[in-house]
Chain A
Amino acid sequence: MSTRTRPRAHPDDDTTTYREALREGLREALASDDRVFLMGEDVGRYGGCFGVSLGLLEEFGPERIRDTPLSESAFVGAGIGAALAGMRPVVEIMTVNFSLLALDQILNNAATLRHMSGGQLGVPLVIRMTTGAGRQLAAQHSHSLEGWYAHIPGLRVLAPATIDDARHVLSAALADPDPVLIFEHGSLYNAAGTLDPAVHQVDLDHAAVRRQGTDVTVVAYSGCVSKALEAAEELAGEGIGAEVVDLRTLRPLDDATIVGSVRRTHRAVVVDEGWRSGSLSAEIESRICEQAFFELDAPVERVCSAEVPIPYARRLEEAALPQSAGIMAAARRVVG
């Protein structure tokens, strides 16, 4: 799979894009369960700020494809309330950057109500949002804060990195009795490929091994998976077999798959578009050290975003983000 923009899928061939796969997932959910509705800023007439819900307003009407005013806290909280009342809302927040205005609702209500109520309430709410950098949008549109959300008990945090995952992530999320956050990487929307006709659901409980290898485990998620795969391809040419683990679910983490892979390769590189300090990559590295310390042949390496607000200029932005060259360098160091 590539993150580069390709021409839109031709109607008579079976290629599709990450964006279309997400839309198909939405269409299926809306058609099969009348408790499901989509709400958010510009999801209706505009078609979604990244075009994911284009056409759904015409198909399902304004009650179920609901444009909201700019009020992240109110419409996310309204999604929580509607979920409490038995609906299955899908709330779109334009991007993770703006989700901070709804952080109170997500953390203090969605994630917490079940516990605080002693198990009486559940919040089966799905929140979708775009994350990540790489499109020269500068700091306020380029954050990768999914790791923050992965810190919170009571939430489930998903990051589809492939077209198949994008297609099936929503039905899995809607089946969950708890709030689920879906992070869609902004640079993946145009990624094109074909859907596997044999896949009808995705296993969100487990990370996916996207490429097998025996020398080093490269753990990545979301927009970094394709970079890890590119790196693995190049490393193969140098005789280094990199196994690429796509987390898919950032909370709860699938320790068994991650650690299982490291037990085979004895070396690990963790890739994270978030900042290094206090990041998801730090959590993964700790778990590897806690669970497989004596199996390691080298210290675990991390490839993260530089600790800087993501800058606008292309050269600077590229330097700030994890790139396949950096992943390759880290892999070479651990293989030694």
Chain B
Amino acid sequence: MATAHGGTSAGTPKAKSPRRAHAPAAPSRTPAAAHDLDLLRRMLLIRRFEERCVELYSAATIRGFVHLYIGEEAVAVGVHQALDERDAVVSTYREHGHALARGIPPEAVMAEMYGKSTGCSHGRGGSMHLFDAGRRFYGGNAIVGGGLPLAAGLALADRMRGEPRVTCCFFGDGAFAEGEFHETANLAALWGLPVLFVCENNLYAMGTALAREHAQTDLAMRAASYGMAAWAVDGMDVHAVEKAARGAVESLRAGSGPHFLEMRTYRFRAHSMYDPDRYRPKDEVEEWKRHDPVTGLADGMRTSGLLDAAALEDLEHRVAEEIDDAVRAAEQAPEEPAEDLLLHVTGRHEEAQA
């Protein structure tokens, strides 16, 4: 496949494996198998969750700008394998996948999109502003590039206190063109801050293709010029993502300064639910769908005898139930009362009320 990702293949299409007549029993017996099943479950949860979002958006149940992550699930899930609860995550408006991978319960994310009290931002944020302070998930930022400096600051605090924590910041290829990226990359490298820059290069910033927004499209190479370790990764392969992220985080925890991973990926859906998707050829999208990270992993597992139809069906069933529960809970949850409109503007106000 011709990829626009600066010549480095983002993975070759995997051959469809013939279905096995007899699936191995209890594939999750080996740790590796259990791990793959877990990765699959996490990616599937994001995929199905967002497919439900499409339905709900089409029914006008959820509103706002909704940006889907479908096609990019391997990045969030793979990177999160390398992070633990000490670490911090800074995200974008395309963050359902990051939030779910971070462990924010689907019902809290769904309720947020419903604008309900039980939403993870108490209905103040919506799809683009998911937060969970307890899980150190710092949003949900709808200003392209706006989260990058925050990540440097979170990491600076860790550095100053000698905490062996990492701050992971997700952002897009479009954000790479913003001054905030370049200022932050320089600052983080200059001060040796423990920031994991995860650039989700999905080849488009809204309708602008990579080569129409960057004079030099090799983003990892440009990031390296700031004096940090940087390399490109097949973002459609969850194993490749996990391996890269683990390597980077290990090195980060050892104090070797920021790392940059250019995740070469693709969004299968339009930029947002609002976007008619007029700017890219349909066959390009179809070609990329052949690298679907979810079916790619499932097929690989099948080929190695780690998954059979029954196990996949069971997984789908459990994921669907989880999402049904989330939708049901969101529907039943109370609305934020209008009298609470002015809450959470200043902490002094809050303290005064308490």
Chain A residues packing against B (C-beta within 8 Å): 37, 63, 68-69, 71, 73-87, 89, 104-105, 108-109, 113-122, 124, 153-154, 156, 176-178
CB closest chain-B residue, reference A101:
B179
A123 to B151 Cα, complex, angstroms? 14
Q: How far is the CA of A124 from the CA of B351 in the complex (A)?
A: 14
Residue of B nearest to A120 (CB): B133
When chains A and B are docked, how far (Å) is the Cα of A108 from the Cα of B150?
Answer: 12
Asked whether, in the complex, the Cβ of A81 is within 8 Å of the Cβ of B154, the reply is yes
B183 touches A73 (CB 8 A): yes
- Please give the distance in Å from A172's CB to the nearest CB on chain B: 11
Q: At the interface, yes or no: B152 with Cβ under 8 Å from chain A?
A: yes
The reply to whether A118 and B138 contact each other, CB–CB distance below 8 Å, is: no
Q: Is the CB of B131 within 8 A of A118?
A: yes
Provide 11 A-B residue pairs closer than 8 Å at the C-beta atoms, listed in order of the A residue: A69-B190, A71-B184, A78-B152, A82-B156, A82-B157, A109-B149, A114-B344, A115-B345, A116-B124, A118-B121, A118-B123
B158 interface residue per 8 A CB criterion: yes
CA distance A74 to B180 in the complex (A): 6
In the complex where A78-B153, A81-B155, A85-B153 touch, is A104 in contact with B143 (Cβ < 8 A)?
yes
**Does A74 contact B345, Cβ atoms closer than 8 Å?**
no
In the assembly, what is the distance between CA of A156 and CA of B239, in Å? 47
| A119, B149: Cβ atoms closer than 8 Å | no
Q: Which of B60-87 contact A (CB under 8 A)?
A: none
- Determine whether the beta carbon of A81 is less than 8 Å from that of B344: no
Known: A117-B133, A154-B346, A176-B348. A85 touches B88 (CB 8 A): yes
Considering the chains assembled together, what is the distance between the CA atoms of A86 and B153 in angstroms?
11
Question: Please, how many angstroms separate the alpha-carbon atoms of A121 and B186 in the complex?
Answer: 27
Cα distance A120–B122 in the bound complex, in angstroms: 9
Contact of A108 among B143, B154, B167, B187 (CB under 8 A): B143
Measured between beta carbons, the chain A residues less than 8 angstroms from B172 are none
Near A by CB (< 8 A), chain B positions 301-354 give 343-348, 350-351
Residues on the A chain within 8 Å of B143, using CB: 104, 108-109
> When the two chains form their complex, are residues B153 and A81 in contact, meaning their CB atoms are under 8 A apart?
yes
Q: Given the complex, which residues of A lie within 8 Å of B187, measured CB to CB?
A: 68-69, 71, 74-75, 78
Whose C-beta in chain B lies nearest to the C-beta of A91? B153
Among residues 118 to 148 in chain B, which have CB atoms less than 8 Å away from a CB atom of chain A? 119-125, 129, 131-133, 138-141, 143, 146, 148
Known: A69-B186, A71-B187, A114-B347. A77 touches B129 (CB 8 A): no
Distance of A83 Cα from B154 Cα, bound (Å): 8
The answer to whether B186 and A114 touch across the interface, beta carbons within 8 angstroms, is no
* Chain B residues in 8 Å Cβ range of A85: 88, 153-154, 157-158
